[in-house]
A and B are shown apart, each in its own frame.
Chain A
Amino acid sequence: MSAAPPLLEVKDLTVQFRSGNARFDAVRGVSFRIEKGETLALVGESGSGKSVTALSVLQLLPYPSANHPSGSIKFKGEELMAAAEPRLRAIRGNRVAMIFQEPLTALNPLHNIEKQIGEMLFVHRGLGRAAARARTLELLNLVGIRNPEKRLGAFPHELSGGQRQRVMIAMALANDPELLIADEPTTAVDVTIQAQILKLLKELQQRFGMGLLFITHDLGLVRHTCDRVAVMQSGLIVETGPVADVFKAPQHEYTKRLLGSEPKGTPAPVSPGAKEVMATEGFKVWYPIKAGIFRRTVDHVKAVDDVAFRVRSGETVGVVGESGSGKSSLGFGLLRLVESKGPIVFLGRDIQALKTSELRPIRRELQIVFQDPFGSLSPRMTVGEIVAEGLKIHRIGGDEDARDALVVAGLKEVGLDPETRHRYPHEFSGGQRQRVSIARALVLKPKLIVLDEPTSALDRSVQAQVIELLRRLQRDYNLAYIFISHDLAVIRAMSHQVVVMRDGKVVEQGPTADVLSQPKEAYTRALLAAAFDFKADETGVVRA
């Protein structure tokens, strides 16, 4: 008896990009297979070629600047590599569907939900308007969108991130695909929504027996949701096998490193006599909503509403919450980058009422590191200039040479080669850029640094290094941190105190160990379940 061909079989796939005369092999001889009803996780850090691999399955790469020097992609025994375009179109979105990472950019902003989903049905099945509408409603019900009749006319911007991702899934499922390719489907959504989406995908897979190619960088997620895993590193699959085996006994060095890169440890304890660096109470950031010709304030968006905490030197206060919870606004408000109300007592002095010019000397001791290492460095200044700028503004270090010496020392402190200071930011990797951001804050010898999601845009292994660096700097310089993050694992590794925020309000706050191990509030529990166990909490606390 000859076995049926596997659902998807990729053999020796190579993807090469050309730019001028330069050649770059993004994927180098990758082979894997997926059976019916199976979930294969393709895991790797950014730049490892996992998305490129997924896109080449449907031949969606930007040809001819991308090409395949070798390889074969067989879908149920049918060769897709270099297949004719009409044949590929019949397969794409019909028998093999794809979900993208960013639901906002993957949905057409000018089409409503009915049209977006209806198009899939029209193109592949030639359904009429009424039939398409019925099927669309069925699909929206299936992916758990409440009141689908009312949502049919909604445009993508009217939906929340989780709802958009559900609509994407509905589109992908429209024609009952046999294989679903999910390219980081939950990276752009909050953890609680991630848990719901994962649950939904799992249910749908069991119901329809789909094969699922799941691309992700998140190992914890793989462990909870996938059957087999293939680990990719710079274009190669270095290890592949059942999830349980790979996680229990990783063979390859790289897999071991990835598994070991989960944020670990706890911060050094704060000395008992540490003095208070910053304290606030009743802190509010309200953005006015203006209306009418005269732009009168009619209402406020209460981004931060009545928050109180204090941070001592050498201490980290972690602020955790989902997007829109007001945690970044809190950080900006405390640095007086946005208007706020309520006292900000910094080293015993209320800086809330100070004028811009009075505030300037204090800014030196009050620094910030941003989330996006690509956006926070001016692309037209060399790294040396970026780090030296604060020194210049605050007239530290006297002449050019003395300042240069300080810049060199600062770059060494964060683990960068000082010779790189004549280079421009685009030549650095994400982790290196984040180190530059930290050096920029650090050369000013601040007392307090607000860290606004400093590790969120980084790969796990780089994340671990940055956390290690931040902890060392805190120890060495007795720095106070306000650490803003949505990532509970990072918060646990970094902070002494934790503030859980939701919709601008504090849900729960206290010592990290207490809050994360014995949460009192239902929301905190739901957050923890979603983040560490990828479980969707059904108590109705979490919104979709």
Chain B
Amino acid sequence: MKPVPAYPKFLWWRISPLTQRRLANFRAHRRGYWSLWMFGVLFFFTLFAEFVANDRPLIVKYDGKWHFPVLMDYSERSFGGDLPGPAVYTDPFIRDEIRKKGWAIWPLIPYSYDAPVRNLSGTPPTPPDWQNWLGTDNQARDVVARVIYGFRISVLFGLALTIFSSIVGIAAGAVQGYFGGRVDLYFQRFIEIWDSIPLLYLLIIISGFIQPDFWWLLGIMLLFSWMGLVGVVRAEFLRARNFDYVRAARAMGAPSVTIMFRHVLPNAMVATITFMPFILSGAVVALTSLDFLGFGLPAGSPSLGELLKQGKEFATNAPWLGITAFMILAIMLSLLVFVGEAVRDAFDPRKSAVSSHVAAEPQAAPAAAWPPQAPPANTPIQAP
């Protein structure tokens, strides 16, 4: 054989040729690739929302001393005031003080999601102007700031829900598919019953006892969203547990856990990863609709669903609210769906775009692909 090419590494991961081909396929899917970049930039940007949109300055030089209001709370006395309470930087008095004895650097958007804007031109909601680029909502809060924070919380919620429900779903599907038989039978019946519990009514009832916050919502949604992946993972495990290499591992004495994680799971991951962007967008939509109905995040939280609700209430006299909420959701979900499509295509074995290995070993690749390999002639009967 030829000398071994060193496989490229990403950090400590070795990138297998298969992964390389998938990455190449993903990059070749231009819409998805750019959607991922755009989504990544937006997400990165909103992760640091406090530095982008805030009603506190980033840095204040006052009286020869440095202050970092974004990171720390300072009392009003630090800026020449009389009160011991925390400084309100939008207060004209404090502003004047700072301007006189130093300077301040403000974030790009000098408003936070939760504080009303002072000195509005009219009664809120006010239309977009040079101060508030997307106007203000009915409580005089800046819409741009709320959108930035709302985007962040939506995506973080979606990611958390996706990750946790994937972990639970993969584990449940793996156990069912791998062991099969009775375990599978009872688990499937349990899922059928569990799946028929109406989530919305449950949330309405629960919100009668407690005010659900981020983690409560996450937990309750998780109780019902993990089932999405079970079917896919179970099917993959059912298929793979009779593969010869799984049988070989069993013959070698490998314990079940090792077989499940080392041999079968990597196969099931393709189906799972393909699903993930769609689960993510589903989770975002779910949170938004709960907020829209008023059973979501606590009042005052920056939420796209809440903005949508205001958009509905003020549809005639403040259309910018509804339009903004719609555009943000449409853009975010479209980006996620485009990324999802690209991921799906990248993992699709029938779509082979540019492959470095076809170029490197022309004899091997097309011969293997054509004519199609016949399945093994005598597959033994499987014990059910």
A residues neighboring B (CB under 8 Å): 17, 19-24, 26, 46-47, 51-52, 55, 62, 66, 101-102, 105, 187-188, 234, 287-288, 290, 301, 303, 323-324, 328-329, 332, 335, 337-339, 359-361, 363-364, 366-368, 370-372, 374-381, 389-390, 393-394, 417, 419-420, 422-424, 426-427, 429, 437, 440, 444, 453, 456-457, 486
Contact = CB atoms under 8 A, between A and B. Distances in A.
Given A24-B366, A364-B253, A328 B18 contact: no
B20 to A, nearest CB: 11
A332 B255 CA distance: 18
A377 to B, nearest CB: 6
Contacts of A288: 384
Interface string B343-365: 00000000011110111011111
A366 B251 contact: yes
B381 A380 contact: no
A370 B4 contact: no
Contacts of A46: 367
Interface stretch (B162-170, B240-248, B278-286): B240-248
Contacts of B376: 371-372, 375, 457
B194 interface: no
Contacts of B249: 378, 389
B327 interface: no
B364 A427 contact: yes
A19 B253 contact: no
Given A20-B359, A332-B380, A437-B248, A422 B253 contact: no
B130 interface: no
Interface string B257-281: 0100011001100000000000000
B158 to A, nearest CB: 28
Contacts of B262: 378, 381, 389
B381 A47 contact: no
Q: What DSSP secondary structure best describes chain B's contact surface?
A: loop
Given A287-B384, A364-B253, A393-B254, A21 B359 contact: yes
Given A19-B358, A371-B376, A62 B370 contact: yes
Nearest to A429: B364
Given A364-B252, A426-B368, 18 more contacts: A17-B366, A24-B366, A47-B363, A55-B371, A234-B363, A287-B383, A303-B380, A303-B381, A329-B380, A332-B247, A359-B253, A370-B248, A376-B245, A376-B248, A389-B249, A389-B262, A419-B1, A427-B364
11 contacts: A20-B354, A21-B359, A22-B358, A24-B363, A101-B374, A363-B251, A375-B376, A378-B249, A378-B262, A389-B252, A424-B16
Contacts of A380: 16, 18, 266-267
A66 to B, nearest CB: 8
Contacts of B251: 335, 337, 363, 366-368
B371 A52 contact: yes
Contact of A17 (B243, B352, B370): B370
Nearest to B376: A372
A427 B361 contact: yes
A324 B359 contact: no
B4 A390 contact: no
A444 B251 CA distance: 12
A217 to B, nearest CB: 12
Contacts of A290: 384
Given A363-B253, A380-B16, A424-B17, A370 B359 contact: no
Contacts of A62: 370
A375 B384 contact: no
B174 to A, nearest CB: 16
A324 B373 CA distance: 21
Contacts of B375: 102
Contact of B252 (A21, A367, A377): A367
A437 B245 CA distance: 10
Interface of B: 1, 3-4, 7, 16-18, 243-245, 247-255, 258, 262-263, 266-267, 352-355, 357-359, 361-368, 370-371, 373-378, 380-381, 383-384
B254 A188 contact: no
Contacts of B380: 303, 328-329, 332
Given A380-B16, A486-B378, A19 B252 contact: no
A420 B245 contact: no
A188 B1 CA distance: 32
Contacts of B18: 379-380, 424, 426
A11 B366 CA distance: 23
Contacts of A429: 364
A190 to B, nearest CB: 9
A66 B371 CA distance: 12
B191 to A, nearest CB: 18
Nearest to B365: A19
Nearest to B253: A363
A370 B244 contact: yes
B189 to A, nearest CB: 12
A372 B244 contact: yes
B137 to A, nearest CB: 51
B247 A287 contact: no
A417 B3 CA distance: 10
A393 B370 contact: no
A328 B59 CA distance: 76
Contacts of B253: 359-361, 363-364, 390, 393-394
Given A24-B363, A422-B7, A427-B364, A324 B244 contact: no
A20 B358 contact: yes
Contacts of A329: 380-381
A337 B371 contact: no
A23 B377 contact: no
Contacts of A287: 381, 383-384
B364 A301 contact: no
Contacts of A55: 371
B374 A444 contact: no
A289 to B, nearest CB: 9
A287 B63 CA distance: 88
B322 to A, nearest CB: 47
Nearest to A456: B377
Nearest to B371: A51
A335 B251 CA distance: 7
A72 B154 CA distance: 64
A376 B248 CA distance: 7
Contacts of B252: 363-364, 367, 389-390, 393, 440, 444
A290 B384 CA distance: 9
A46 B374 CA distance: 12
